[in-house]
Structure formats: C-alpha cells, structure tokens
Chains A and B, each alone.
Chain A
Amino acid sequence: MILQLVYKEILYRRLNFVLGTLAVTMAVALFVSFFTTSEASKNETIRLTRDMGFNLRIIPESTDMEKFWNAGFSDQTMPQEYIQRFTLYKDFSFAHLTATLRKKITWRGREVVLTGLGSEIEPSVRKKSPMSLTIKPGTIYVGFEIARVLNLKERDHVAILGKTFIIARILSESGSDDDITIYAWLQDVQNVLNIPGRINEIQALNCLCLTSFEQDPQNTLREQLAQVLPETRVIMNRTIALARERQRLMLEKYFAFIMPFIVLACAIWIGAIVMINIKERQQEIGLLRALGYSTGQISLLFLTKAISLGILGAVCGFIIGTAVSLIYGPEIFRITADTIKPGYHLLAWSLIAAPIFAAISASLPIMIAVTQDPALTLRRE
C-alpha cells in the first residue's frame, strides 16, 4: 500500500517530484563532472607547469656555483652512470629524468652552447610523453638565433668539431639561451668533446607532495640524495616546484570549499521541497493517522518518496555530469582530453550517497509533520 501511495502521489504532484529530483541531479552532476575531469585537470596542471622547465638539477659537487650561475651550467663533469644510481633509489620521487652535457663552444665564429641530451628515464612502467627533445644520433636541433644569423635550414648538413650532423629542426624563438643552443644526442656530444661517459647535469621533474608551505623540500631532497649520490649537489627551482604544488593544493582546497556549499544548498532545497509537499499534504497525514497508520508508516511514505527521488536524481545526475564532462571537458583540458572518461564507479557511489542524502534532507520536515496531532492537521483548511 505504501509503495502504491508513493507512486500515485508522485504522478499526481509531478512538479514537486521533478523539483526535488532536480536538486539531487544538480548535486550529483556537479560531483560527477568534477571527478570525471579531475584526472584531466591534474594532468593538465602538471603539463602546464612542466612546460615551464625542469625543477630539479643535479650537478657535480665540485661545481663553482658562481661560474655555474654565470654560465647556466656546470664546468665540471660526473659519470653518466650516476643517473642509473639515481633511478635505483626507491624512496625518491621523480619524473622525466634526463642526463645532459653542456659546453660553450665557438662555432662558425659564434659562441654557442652545445648540449647533449640523453633519453628520458621514467621511474615506473607508466608511459609519459618526453619533456625534453628526443634527438636521433647524427642529427641536431638548432636554436632560432644561430639559425637566423648563420642562415641555416632544416636538412642542411653541418660539421661541428669535426663531425657532420644533419639539422633535424630549427627551433622556434624562445626568448632564452635556447636560441643560441645546439641540441644533439648525448653520446654524439660526448664524442665530439672527447669526454665519453661524462655528463655535467641530471635534470628531473620532481613531484613533491607538500603538506604545508612551511616544509623545506630542498633540504629533504638534499638529505635523500646524499645517501645515493654523495658527490653531487642538488638545486631546486623552487618557483616551479612550489607553483605546481600550490596549483594542486589550490584545486583541492577550492573543491573542499565549494562542495559543502553546494551540498548544503541542495539539502536546503530538498528540505524546502519536502516541507512544501508536507504542508500540501497535512490533511493527508492527519487522515492517515486517523485511519490508523503509525508515525513510522507515514514517515516511511515520505522517506520512500525521498529515496526514490534520490535514486532517480543519482542516475540523471550521473548521466548529465558525465555528458557535460565528455562534451565540455576536452575544450577546457585540451592537452589531457583523452583522460576524460566516464567513471562508472561514480554511478555506484551516487546511487548509495544520493538516496541517503535525500532521506536525511527530508527527515526534519517529516519528523515535524508526523508528530503533530492528527486532528489539528485535519481541521486545517
């Protein structure tokens, strides 16, 4: 009988039910769309900050730092196998690990920076797109300014320190010392400089999980690194590292700040709708009590309606939230659009949480209604 009453009343007062469902739908859609795009948002943040450059540089300990900052790289070298030692240390979190060898040379009457780049090493099985240039042996990438001054073009053959290279790419103007840099395969540079197996820098994108801004990540890193590579020193570009962390923390805080408001607004909305429904049905409540229905049975009547509304809202909210994420997400997160996929586990969570949420929101008005004297509600016209 209860189910029949709920079903018939829903059909009779459709607008009330639609408005209630809309509240749940909105809350669920917001949750679903946020979580569906959250992976893309996280990755996008990483990619955008990553493009600002490496945030961790490991150089030989004997480096003269004054010269280092003047030149932009170390004048000392260290064994290339350091990079392997680095990867074997499991407690250290990093990404996009690259060995480099840089040296200033005079080429065709110009001072240029010759940079050898090793292949990027990733810590896990996770495949990531390389952050630095991927250069094939025997080829070079030439900085914009050198190419312009020396009138170099792609596919030109050029000799550097006695070895012939093919220009694979002329880099676009960067506004940095990249414009006077020639990039080549690490081993090629080691060979032409006659220092095989040597590098002067390991660059890494470090992923720190800071819990507060008071913690100093550089000290922690130095302590960790001293155990693996005691002959090196670590320099961290704090601006980039902190920007990444702050961006991530900001997104998390923003979500934590905004969601309670949305949930509260939806709860008030549902509560108000249930209250209107109860006010409209006061005589009905009085009648049911007069006919011998217990307060529990009458509460169940309203709770069943609220739960039905929650279930329907969960399904609609999931569909809308997912659809919105799939349609508009790729426009917002252009680089990581591929990671936006329907999260079916969110449907399961919505189906559990939304009916509970709707039932809790409806509880107070129901309690007020069923505790009234049936005669008082029946006499109200």
Chain B
Amino acid sequence: MIHVEDVCKLYTTRYNHVIALDSVNLHVDQGEFVIIHGPSGSGKTTLLLTISGMLRPTGGRVIIKQNDIYALPEKKRTSFRARHIGFVFQMFHLLPYLNSTENIMLAKGTGAKELQRSAIVQLMNRLHLSQRAYHKPSELSVGECQRIAMARALVSRPDILLADEPTGNLDLENAAQIIEYLKNFHSNSGTVIMATHGNIAQQYTDRIIHLKEGRIVPG
C-alpha cells in the first residue's frame, strides 16, 4: 500500500547541509499499525511529512496505492492527500479563530454539509468532545485540542492515518485516550503510521521501525 523507495531528504541552510533522510526504504501494507521510533532529530517527522505528500524528498519515490505521489501535479497530490491521508500533528495546528466543530469541518473531502455535520457529531461523541463543540482552541485543554486534531484527521474517513508524536504534549491519561482512538481506527482496517520517541503504543503495533540519523536501523 505504501512504498517508500530510496528516499533522501537534504535540508540546505546558509552554513551547512543536513541529511534528514538517507536512502530510506519502507513498505507498509494496508491495515498495518507501524511505529517509527527514534530520538529527536532522527528524521521521524521528515519521513512522515514525506509519506504524506507534504514534503518533496530530495531523492527517491513515495508510492501510495500505486500512485507515485510526487509525480502527480500539485493539485492532484493535494486532492489525493485529502481523500486518503489523515494527519495528526504534535502541535495540533488548530485555527485559533474557529471553534471545535469548525476546526473539524476544515478537513476537505468530508462530503455534503449534512453528512459532514452528522459525521462530526458522531465523532465528537466518540472522542468525548460534544460538550466542547463551540469552544475555541484557547478555551480547551491540551488533551482536548489533540482530540479535535484527531477528529479533523478522521472526519474525511481516510485509509491512512499519519500521527506525528500525537501524545508528545499530553499527560498519560490523555495519551492513552489518543492511542485508543488510533487503535480503533486500525481495527477498522485503517493503516496507521505513528512517529514517537516514547514507548507508549508499542504493545498495539504490528511493527516498529527504528530510525537514527535519517537511516532505518535494526531495533
């Protein structure tokens, strides 16, 4: 389903070059729950962003569902991402001027407005957010913000969920909740790739990939 082929990513600054990903090869099947594990700066986020089609690699290819996503024109790639990939960011990235419902509705490809509303209501109930439907991000706890971000990633019913340190800013209780939601998504044949430097989700995963200095290394 996801095929990462010899992917390299080089960041060039004014003073030096940083190799974030160095010839990464990876294959993830549909319905797999994969954890990318590694210390900070190992290239986990870069790999996730590259798989999501948001960060063009310096070399190599990313093939998702038989589509070489960086060979697609920008418009098609954006549309592909909206239809197939949900992304949960460590920093939530909620728009401060929209309430919880509006932030979730921001996701594209959620269907007709009525369908969208009922899906959002269901999701909010499932994520215990119904009491926070009209609250702005500044009025929510960190855990609630992450659940809103999770709801936004799930509302368009993607096949793949990419989560970048989704529990990084949460306490244990909230972190466990988030992992639970990821597990639920996975149990409904969703594919999950989660980047983390902790051990919180290891018991639920099919596979753990270790990343160090931009290379996949044995665990």
Of the four ranges (under 10, 10 to 19, 20 to 34, 35 or more), the interface on chain A belongs to 20 to 34
Please give the distance in Å from A107's CB to the nearest CB on chain B.
Answer: 89
Q: How large is the interface on B (under 10, 10 to 19, 20 to 34, 35 or more residues)?
A: 20 to 34
- A289 neighbours in B (Cβ, 8 Å): 54, 78
**Which secondary structure dominates chain A's binding surface?**
helix
**Contact of B93 with A287 in the complex, beta carbons under 8 Å:** yes
Q: Measured between C-beta atoms, what is the minimum distance from B172 to chain A in Å?
A: 25
Contact of A378 with B by CB under 8 A: yes
Tell me, in angstroms, the Cα distance from A376 to B20 when the chains sit together. 13
Answer yes or no: A290 CB below 8 A from chain B CBs.
yes
Verify A373–B97 contact, CB threshold 8 A. Answer: no
The interface bits of chain B over 74-97 (1 if a CB of A lies within 8 angstroms of the residue's CB, else 0) are 110011011100010101010111
Q: Which residues of A contact B91 (CB under 8 A)?
A: 381
Contact with B along A102-144 (1 / 0, CB 8 A): 0000000000000000000000000000000000000000000
- B200 on the A face (CB < 8 A): no
Q: Which of B106-114, B121-129, B181-189, B209-217 interfaces with chain A?
A: B106-114
Nearest residue (CB) in A for B93 is A287
A373-B54, A373-B56 as given contacts; A292 in contact with B81, CB under 8 Å? yes
Known: A4-B102, A283-B93, A376-B55. A291 touches B107 (CB 8 A): yes
B96's closest neighbor in chain A, by CB? A12
Contact assessment for A284 and B107 in the assembled complex, using a CB-CB cutoff below 8 Å: no
Q: Which residue of A lies closest to B56 (CB)?
A: A373
**Distance of B89 from chain A, by nearest CB (Å):** 7
Q: Can you give 13 contacting A-B residue pairs, CB < 8 Å?
A: A11-B97, A287-B93, A288-B106, A289-B54, A290-B54, A292-B79, A292-B109, A373-B55, A373-B56, A375-B54, A376-B55, A378-B49, A379-B49
User: Apart from A1-B106, A294-B78, what 10 extra A-B contacts exist at CB < 8 Å?
Assistant: A12-B96, A292-B83, A292-B108, A294-B75, A373-B55, A373-B56, A375-B54, A378-B49, A378-B93, A379-B49
User: Which residues in B have some Cβ–Cβ distance to A below 8 Å?
Assistant: 45, 49, 52, 54-56, 74-75, 78-79, 81-83, 87, 89, 91, 93, 95-98, 102, 105-109, 152, 156
